[in-house]
Structure 1
Amino acid sequence: MEYTKLGSTGLDVSKVCFGTWRFSKESDGTVETDRETAHDLLDRFADAGGNFIDTANVYGDPAGTSERWIGEWLDDRDREDYVIASKVYWNQVSRFSDNLSRKNIRAEIEGTLERLDTDYIDVYYIHRWDDDTPIRETLRTLTQLVEEGKVHYLAASSMAAWKLTKALWTSDVDGLERFEVTQPRFNAVKRPHEYLEVCADQGLAVCPWSPLDGGFLTGKYSTGDADEGSRADLDDWDLSFSDQQRRVLEAVETVADELEATPAQVSLRWLIEQREFTCVPIFGARTVEQMDENVGAADISLSNDQYERIADAY
């Protein structure tokens, strides 16, 4: 497994991050990943050298189950060997999760630490922007968590580029801890250019969610059909795709054939090799086979020509 520094932080992380949003998640009455499978997948990721794990206080049914299962798994391991990221706010999962006020952040971090059975979170995201709470109040509270050792680095998930810029400016002006890591929806067919330009300019690490565009970049939905039990089937997705999406997928599949790799591995590798910022894609896996395939992205590399062909297809 290859490792990289996570932006300007001192964290050494595997070049892919395991996302655990499917742990205990129910879709149409089906539990996507049960506890035993979750622990098997974490074992497989760790055995491959993976050390970066992403979760959130809202993941699982009931909410928080993903954090709890990870905490149980960590009981048998050295906590210091892993970089754990979690999140606060967005979906209301408790009486304290409806905004990013001082009181609510304080309550939510305690719940996350208890479920993970740890003294600290390595990377703590605000899951979304809160329009009703001044960002200054949110950042001051998060800064206090860093000073107390409960959080090591602050991060921000999906939001508009101008909101991310406003938060960074507030941190600079008020001498507060700033967001060092971001988590936008970004992949070869979804590219939030303005947001990424802010990340590149400010030296922020980018950890994209949906790096395979919900499975589209694996090629399995290109016919417009979804296999029974697949994510598109469980979530009842619209499987009509644009010419732009199909052009990118064709470029990815061509490169995959050249490398004797899979489209998923090439798509993840294209993100890893971003040139303007550190990029560590967050992938999901429901089976050991999917885990092995996705982790395999660390074992290939793209030529400049292959990288540019995928970029230009967009």
Structure 2
Amino acid sequence: MEYRRLGATGLTVSPLCLGTWRFGKESNGMLETDRETARNLLDEAWDKGINFIDTANSYGGGKSEQWIGEWLADHDREDFVIASKVWWRTRGGPETSLSRKSIRLEIQGTLERLDTNYLDVYYIHRFDDGTPIREMLRTLDDLVREGTVRYLAASAGAGWKLTKALWQSDRENLERFEITQPRFNAAYREAVEDYLDVCADQELAVCPYSPLEGGFLTGKYDRNGDPPAGSRGDRYEWNDRFDERQWRVLEAVRAVAAKIGATPAQVALRWCMDRERFTCVPIVGARSVDQLEENAGSMELSLTDDQLRQITDAYGADAGGEQ
């Protein structure tokens, strides 16, 4: 497996990032991923060479960070690139904020739960229209200068807001965002075209969430079949959720997977990793060790230019250009 430079940063990461948003998350009174399963997933990720772990202060009400911190205590912290996020509040005050006070409170809680004295990557989970952008950027810049954070990042948001933040940082000689985390995959591109244009132009790394489009690109969906087990709604509701372009992409992914003896999920993840306009490190949030093992197989996969183009072109001419 070849590790890669994360955009213009000095960080070297695995081609996949382990997402931990399910750690400690309750759905209908049940934990999606409990502490034991979380530890097993972290073990499996490390065994497969994945050194990049993504979390957030809000995941599982803080349990995700806490469980990662407990696991890290048995490992060398320097072997890992740890990313967390801020926007939702876990320590009182307004529900969401990127004010100076909020960021300072939340980074303290994040470091305590992770049992570390620094973060490699710190994302803003959203842009905060209620806080002056200068206040937010100066506070984040202070964290980098103090050594609490190594690199800054931005998750979801409009392309123009990302551009504005980069311009403000450059204008005032502040640390800028170097990594982004949009929703992006082979079957979801046009909506983030402007955002990705900014990333490519400014040499920002892209770590997309939902690289399998919520499970759609695993191949478990069928145009004419019943919805997957556990899905809500009937066949027609699920079929209406995806448009014709997305079904064409899935068919192309399935065709390539069948030809090379891989799974659709592995092919779809490899397509993300092989973007040329920007460094792309997809975030996978597996539910089980077996699922993570399957996803990790994408790191050893090789697709030809023709196979990559087959998947890209399936999205159609109205895709807004090759991403």
Q: Indicate the TM-score class for this superposition, using the shorter chain for normalisation.
A: over 0.9
Q: CA 1:296/1:108 → structure 2, altered by over 3 Å: closer, same or farther?
A: same
Structure 2 CA distance for aligned equivalents of residues 239 and 24 of structure 1: 28
1:93 equivalent in alignment to 2:95? no
Q: Give the superposition deviation at 1:158.
A: 0.5
Q: Indicate the residue corresponding to 2:297 in structure 1.
A: 296
% same residue: 63
Structure 1 CA distance for aligned equivalents of residues 208 and 237 of structure 2: 22
- Within 5 Å, give how 1:73-112 maps onto structure 2: 73-89=71-87, 91-96=88-93, 98-112=96-110
Q: CA 1:81/1:121 → structure 2, altered by over 3 Å: closer, same or farther?
A: same
Tell me if the contact between 2:91 and 2:105 (Cα under 8 Å) persists in the aligned partners: no
Q: Indicate the residue corresponding to 2:238 in structure 1.
A: 239
Q: Indicate the residue corresponding to 1:125 in structure 2.
A: 123
Q: 2:229 aligns with which of 227, 230, 244?
A: 227
Structure 1 CA distance for aligned equivalents of residues 30 and 300 of structure 2: 33
What is the letter of the counterpart of residue 226 of structure 1?
Answer: P
Q: Indicate the residue corresponding to 1:139 in structure 2.
A: 137
| TM-score, scaled relative to structure 1 | 0.95
Q: Indicate the residue corresponding to 2:157 in structure 1.
A: 159
Count of residue pairs the alignment pairs up: 306
- Within 5 Å, give how 1:246-265 maps onto structure 2: 246-265=247-266
SS of corresponding position for 2:57: coil
Q: CA 1:45/1:135 → structure 2, altered by over 3 Å: closer, same or farther?
A: same
Structure 1 CA distance for aligned equivalents of residues 292 and 70 of structure 2: 20
Structure 1 stretches of 4+ with a deviation exceeding 2 A read 91-94, 221-224
Structure 2 CA distance for aligned equivalents of residues 4 and 224 of structure 1: 40
1:184-206 superposed Cα distances (whole Å, 9 cap, x missing partner): 00001111111100000000000
1:204-231 superposed Cα distances (whole Å, 9 cap, x missing partner): 0000000000000001122351213xxx
Structure 1 CA distance for aligned equivalents of residues 2 and 75 of structure 2: 21
What is the letter of the counterpart of residue 165 of structure 1?
Answer: T
Q: Indicate the residue corresponding to 1:49 in structure 2.
A: 49
Structure 2 CA distance for aligned equivalents of residues 157 and 198 of structure 1: 13
SS of corresponding position for 2:122: strand
Q: Give the superposition deviation at 1:149.
A: 0.6
SS of corresponding position for 2:92: coil
Q: Indicate the residue corresponding to 1:29 in structure 2.
A: 29
Structure 2 CA distance for aligned equivalents of residues 29 and 297 of structure 1: 33
Q: Indicate the residue corresponding to 2:166 in structure 1.
A: 168
Q: Give the superposition deviation at 1:245.
A: 1.1
What stretches of structure 2 of length at least 5 have no aligned partner? 316-323
What is the letter of the counterpart of residue 112 of structure 1?
Answer: T
What stretches of structure 1 of length at least 5 have no aligned partner? none
Structure 2 CA distance for aligned equivalents of residues 186 and 149 of structure 1: 31
Structure 2 CA distance for aligned equivalents of residues 175 and 70 of structure 1: 34
Structure 1 CA distance for aligned equivalents of residues 278 and 106 of structure 2: 30
What is the letter of the counterpart of residue 169 of structure 1?
Answer: W
Q: Give the superposition deviation at 1:280.
A: 0.0
Q: Indicate the residue corresponding to 1:211 in structure 2.
A: 211
Q: CA 1:104/1:72 → structure 2, altered by over 3 Å: closer, same or farther?
A: same
| TM-score, scaled relative to structure 2 | 0.92
Structure 2 CA distance for aligned equivalents of residues 93 and 305 of structure 1: 48
Q: Give the superposition deviation at 1:24.
A: 1.0
Structure 2 CA distance for aligned equivalents of residues 254 and 32 of structure 1: 32
Structure 2 CA distance for aligned equivalents of residues 160 and 226 of structure 1: 32
Q: Give the superposition deviation at 1:93.
A: 3.5
